[in-house]
Amino acid sequence: MAVERTLIIVKPDAMEKGALGKILDRFIQEGFKIVGLKMFRFTPRTAGEFYKVHRERPFFNELVEFMSSGPVVAAVLEGEDAVRRVREIIGPTDSEEARRVAPNSIRALFGTDKGKNAVHASDSPESAKEEICFIFSGLELV
Ligand code: IDP
Ligand code: MG
């Protein structure tokens, strides 16, 4: 299995709850190396650009409003099979479903519902590359 890099974003709801440290620590405990780290706030425009694949979805405006509602922290995680493993650790999109099927997942522990679900993670090696480049410059990755 190859060493990969993937992107996570601790979303505004988890930041507001003070869950940043616990979420980053979980990934460290799971064996990932943090190779990039940044706190910022999306504008509606940059949130819309980041989530452009969802432009036509009924929840797009809600998603953009939520993601630009407060600061976030983005991290690039490196490890074996990182894209798949990180998706597994965060759990399903809907936090309520996560509490049923993956009670130790990050969304089960820190998410509220389908929209406010604590954390983003890239869903493929291709989207990981694109998302990392959207948020980090080469100089910001170690
Ligand atoms: P993912 O984050 O698990 O990959 P996606 O389907 O890619 O899920 O959706 C992106 C984000 O859009 C979700 O993490 C969530 O914040 C939001 N979202 C998805 N579906 C809904 C919905 O039905 N209502 C409100 N927000 C949603
Ligand atoms: Mg997705």
Query: Are the C-beta atoms of 83 and 125 separated by less than 8 Å?
Result: yes
CATH code of the domain covering residue 105: 3.30.70.141
Which residue is closest in CA terms to ligand 1's atom 14? 93
The ligand whose atoms approach the alpha carbon of 63 most closely is: 1
Question: Does residue 123 sit within a domain?
Answer: yes
Which pLDDT does position 94 carry in this prediction? 98
Question: Does residue 55 sit within a domain?
Answer: no
Question: Does residue 58 sit within a domain?
Answer: no
- List the domain range (segments joined by +) for residue 18: 3-40+69-140
Which pLDDT does position 1 carry in this prediction? 80
Which pLDDT does position 78 carry in this prediction? 98
Question: Does residue 60 sit within a domain?
Answer: no
Which pLDDT does position 50 carry in this prediction? 98
Query: Are the C-beta atoms of 62 and 48 separated by less than 8 Å?
Result: no
The predicted model scores a pTM of 0.98
Which residue is closest in CA terms to ligand 1's atom 27? 115
Which pLDDT does position 23 carry in this prediction? 99
Question: Does residue 63 sit within a domain?
Answer: no
Question: Does residue 54 sit within a domain?
Answer: no
Which pLDDT does position 47 carry in this prediction? 99
Residue 115 CA: nearest ligand 1 atom is 26
Query: What's the number of domains the chain is made of?
Result: 1
Question: Does residue 104 sit within a domain?
Answer: yes
Question: Does residue 46 sit within a domain?
Answer: no
**Does residue 43 line the site of ligand 1, with CB under 6 A?**
no
Chain-centroid distance, C-alpha 35: 15
> Which of 9, 13, 59 to probe ligand 1 with, by most ligand atoms within 8 A of CB?
59
Query: In sequence order, what E strands does the chain have?
Result: 3-10, 33-40, 72-80, 119-121
Number of Cβ within 10 Å of residue 1's Cβ equals: 9
**Does residue 81 line the site of ligand 1, with CB under 6 A?**
no
**Does residue 93 line the site of ligand 1, with CB under 6 A?**
yes
pLDDT tens by residue, the chain, 142 residues: 899 999 999 999 999 999 999 999 999 999 999 999 999 999 999 999 999 999 999 999 999 999 999 999 999 999 999 999 999 999 999 999 999 999 999 999 999 999 999 999 999 999 999 999 999 999 999 9
**Does residue 37 line the site of ligand 1, with CB under 6 A?**
no
